[in-house]
Amino acid sequence: MEKNVNITKDSIKSVIQDFISTSSLNSLQNGTDEPAWDQALVGLASGADPIWQQYKEYVGAFHWTPWEVFNQHCPEQNVSADQLMVVSWVLPQRKPVRKSNRVSRNYPSEEWARIRVYGEEFNIALRRHLVEQLASSGHPAVAPMLVPNWTIVKSERFSYASSWSERHAAHAAGLGTFGLCDGLITAKGKAMRTGSIVVKLSLKSDPRPYFDHHAYCLYYSDGTCGKCIDRCPARAITPNGHDKEKCRQHLVRSRKYVKKTYKFEGYGCGLCQVGVPCETIIPVKTAREALKSGKLPPPPPPLA
């Protein structure tokens, strides 16, 4: 991006899509030409959106607002919250990767484990690239997940949580809502990874086309489904939600499996993200149709 060019959502989207199309890092790194990712969904949220304060109250005081993280790392800019935007993106898993993990019963397929490692390396590079591109056009930016003081802390409510959650940023930017398994269900489904940056820029925020943070999950919307419960080899998902600690322990065990079976240092699981109704779509029909039409769906009736 050149200095003083007019930055729009479309120009940001182009930087992201161009990097996905051209970066040599967008690779499964398995000796083929297979990319890790195709195209991304992109959403914007204002740094002054009240949702960031709500996250602080719900997740914990340690969860940064965009203003906090930006001002820690660019204090000389002396900005107010309404001068900041969060740019969030969703990288949907590609069909062959999803297909391979659908048949997994305990540990991830090789493709899925490669995405967890090499796909995320690309996602890190994408955050850096966007920060550099925006900064070079006169808009300083920060990638909260990449700052040295980003950390994971113990949380009473969630067992552990971090100073910045990519999925929460995506939710704020109108990109999706949470499922029973805690994954974010987006217009391209739940099999995906997310990323975000905070930038000094004023643009229009994207609307959040949902009434609550569970609107796209069948279990929360009408009490049906629960397919992710059966998919989880660690019994980490129940009708009460997702047990992060059980999930984490399974991911630790997966390291040994990945090294022994696929001969590289990796890990992963994601079995609850595939072979379920929310793998590639929003499974709640009214919510899916509302998103297409651009109108808010009617609020769901209370569960009996």
Residue 28 beta carbon to ligand SF4: minimum distance, rounded to whole angstroms: 20
Closer to ligand SF4 by Cβ: residue 146 or 251:
251
Closer to ligand SF4 by Cβ: residue 113 or 142:
113
Site string for ligand SF4, 243-262 (x = CB under 6 A): ----x--x------------
d(CA 30, CA 130): 26
The label of the residue with tokens 């390291």 reads 255
Q: Which of 143, 218, 274, 291 binds ligand SF4 (CB under 6 A)?
A: 218
Site string for ligand SF4, 59-88 (x = CB under 6 A): ------------------------------
Q: Which stretch binds ligand SF4 (CB under 6 A): 30-38, 46-54, 72-80, 273-281?
A: 273-281
Q: Which of 92, 144, 176, 179 binds ligand SF4 (CB under 6 A)?
A: 179
Site string for ligand SF4, 125-164 (x = CB under 6 A): ----------------------------------------
**With binding defined as CB under 6 A, does residue 283 bind ligand SF4?**
yes
**With binding defined as CB under 6 A, does residue 115 bind ligand SF4?**
no
Q: Which stretch binds ligand SF4 (CB under 6 A): 18-26, 45-53, 78-86, 230-238?
A: 230-238
Closer to ligand SF4 by Cβ: residue 164 or 219:
219
Q: Which of 43, 195, 277, 297 binds ligand SF4 (CB under 6 A)?
A: 277
Question: 303: buried, middle or exposed (CB in 10 Å: 19+, 13-18, 0-12)?
Answer: exposed
**With binding defined as CB under 6 A, does residue 189 bind ligand SF4?**
no
**Residues at the contact surface with ligand SF4, assessed by CB under 6 A:** 179-181, 217-219, 225-228, 231-232, 234, 236-237, 242, 247, 250, 269-272, 276-278, 283
